[in-house]
């Protein structure tokens, strides 16, 4: 036992994330009832290597002394990190982050030792040791009790965004979510939108990249392509003729916003088609199996001839994420065979007779 007043946090304790308030409250209540069951681990100077939350609780509860175990180690930071990795109050992402810090710290010490040995032999200075790569991730995963994928995600975040990595380390953001944000940002940097084609076009077909909610969700469209806020979509300069027709895709949850976009682009809503899919999807209020294709008119552009007007219900199987049925092109082409046609926000392979605009267009 040592007096509580003689103990204090280690100078490098900031490397360890603090307990969440709820967990700390449970710890204080347990110590108040049973005392400190597991001794604090301290060095000879009274600095706590493991147990700073128990020390804090003891101070708040007015305990005059606490059980301790004095530890002698050459690498106190490594000891602190290893002890923290085994703490039950840390989630998998936090343990992965600490395992990476431990690995980096260990590698720096090994490099320093190699330089010292080289100097003693009066040989060339050894700047770095070889990168330890995949095997190191596996070792770190085993030591932290997490998957190699979690280690890889945490490493991705650490290398590209220190601020985001700190959120992972503090337990405010899972490593896989943070890594997904990094990969999305890197992908978006490589996508460059070409200039808009010269118009005017009599027919515009558009599938805007709607923002549907939480961009960090595993099901968010941001995992597949960059999205745009509503106001940016509304201010888009559509190269449409004074007399033109618009076909605008709208997911059910964004129907009011799609009507806003149509009006902002200078079109008046006329009617819609509905795509009925072959299997059910996600949804908060209902499980969606349909999608709207709104039709709007600018000026006096005429409707199709009676024999060329499409059925308002499109029945076609679902394809890849956000992929629309190819037969929609056929319906539009039959309804307006002579119109000059532009597809906005196009993705994939182009089609003969159309002008396409988008940053993921592939030439036929």
* Domain ranges for the chain: 2-85, 92-190, 201-362
According to the model, what pLDDT value does residue 140 have?
67
Cα torsion 360, 298, 294, 284 to 10°: value is 80
The rounded distance, in Å, linking the Cα atoms of 155 and 101 is: 10
The greatest distance separating any two alpha carbons of the chain, rounded to the nearest whole angstrom, comes to: 94
Q: What's the pLDDT at 100?
A: 86
Distances (CA, A) of 350 to 247, 346, 347: 17, 8, 8
Q: Do the domains spanning 2-85 and 201-362 agree at the CATH topology level?
A: no
How many other C-beta atoms are found inside a 10 Å radius of the C-beta of residue 186? 11
- Look at residue 214 in the predicted model and tell me its pLDDT: 67
Q: In this predicted structure, what is the pLDDT of residue 223?
A: 63
Residue 125: Cβ within 10 Å count:
8
Token output for 224: 């597949």
Question: How many beta carbons lie within 10 A of that of residue 77, not counting itself?
Answer: 18
Of 3.40.50.150, 2.130.10.30, 3.90.930.60, 3.40.718.10, the CATH number of 201-362 is 3.40.50.150
Non-local CB neighbours of 35 within 8 Å, separated by 6+ positions:
63
pLDDT of residue 222: 57
Show Cβ contacts of residue 165 under 8 Å, excluding neighbours closer than 6 positions.
97, 154, 157, 158, 178
Structural tokens at position 53: 């939350």
Q: What is the pLDDT of residue 209?
A: 87
**CB-CB neighbours of 156 under 10 Å:** 21
Q: Which 3 state secondary structure label does DSSP give 236?
A: coil
pLDDT by residue for the chain (364 residues), tens only, comes to 899 999 999 998 888 888 888 889 999 999 999 999 899 999 999 999 999 999 999 999 999 999 999 999 989 888 888 888 887 678 889 888 888 888 888 888 877 777 788 777 765 554 444 454 555 567 667 777 788 888 888 888 998 889 998 999 888 889 888 888 888 777 777 666 778 888 899 999 999 988 876 666 666 665 666 778 899 999 989 999 999 999 999 988 889 999 999 999 999 999 999 999 988 877 778 888 899 999 999 999 999 999 999 999 999 988 776 678 889 999 999 999 999 999 998 887 778 899 988 877 665 5
- pLDDT score, position 303: 95
CATH class in words for 2-85: alpha beta
pLDDT score recorded for residue 127: 46
C-alpha distances in Å from residue 181, one per residue of 95, 164, 219, 229: 20, 9, 13, 17
Which residues, other chains included, contact 317 with Cβ-Cβ below 8 Å and sequence gap of 6+?
A: 277, 278, 279, 325
| Listed residue (71, 66, 72) closest to 1, CA to CA | 66
pLDDT number for residue 128: 47
Sheet holding 40-42, edge to edge: 8-9, 47-50, 40-42, 68-70
Nearest to 52, CA basis, from 92, 18, 77:
18
Give CA–CA dist 49/84, Å, rounded: 9
Residue count of the chain: 364
């Amino acid at each position: 036992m040592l007096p509580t007043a003689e103990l204090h946090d280690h100078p490098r304790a900031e490397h360890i994330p603090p307990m969440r308030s709820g967990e700390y409250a449970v710890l204080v209540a347990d110590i108040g009832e049973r005392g400190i069951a597991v001794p604090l681990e301290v060095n000879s100077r009274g600095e706590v290597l493991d147990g700073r939350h128990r020390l804090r609780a003891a101070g708040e509860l007015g305990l005059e002394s606490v059980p301790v175990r004095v530890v002698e180690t050459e690498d106190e930071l490594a000891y602190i990190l290893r002890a923290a990795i085994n703490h039950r109050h840390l989630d998998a992402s936090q343990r992965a982050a600490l395992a990476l810090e431990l690995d980096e710290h260990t590698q720096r010490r090994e490099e320093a030792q190699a330089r010292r040995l080289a100097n003693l032999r009066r040989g060339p200075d050894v700047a770095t040791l070889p990168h330890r790569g995949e095997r190191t991730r596996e070792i770190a995963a085993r030591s932290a009790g997490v998957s190699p994928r979690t280690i890889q995600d945490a490493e991705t975040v650490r290398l590209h965004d220190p601020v985001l990595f700190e959120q992972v380390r503090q337990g405010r953001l899972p490593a896989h979510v943070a890594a997904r944000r990094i990969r999305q940002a890197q992908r978006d940097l490589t996508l460059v939108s070409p200039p808009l084609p010269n118009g005017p076009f009599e027919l515009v077909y558009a599938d805007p990249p709607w923002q549907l909610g939480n961009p960090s969700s595993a099901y968010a469209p941001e995992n597949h392509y960059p999205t745009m806020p509503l106001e940016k979509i509304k201010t888009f300069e559509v190269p449409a003729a004074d007399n033109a027709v618009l076909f605008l895709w709208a997911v059910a949850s964004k129907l009011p916003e799609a009507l806003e976009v149509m009006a902002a682009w200078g079109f008046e809503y006329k009617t819609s088609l509905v795509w009925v899919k072959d299997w059910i999807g996600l949804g908060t209020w209902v499980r969606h199996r349909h999608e709207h294709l709104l039709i709007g008119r600018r000026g006096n552009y005429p409707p199709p001839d009676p024999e060329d007007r499409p059925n308002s219900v499109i029945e076609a199987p679902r394809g890849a994420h956000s992929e629309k049925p190819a037969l929609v092109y056929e319906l539009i082409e039959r309804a307006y065979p002579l119109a000059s046609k532009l597809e906005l926000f196009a993705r994939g392979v182009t089609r003969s007779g159309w002008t396409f605009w988008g940053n993921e267009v592939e030439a036929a």
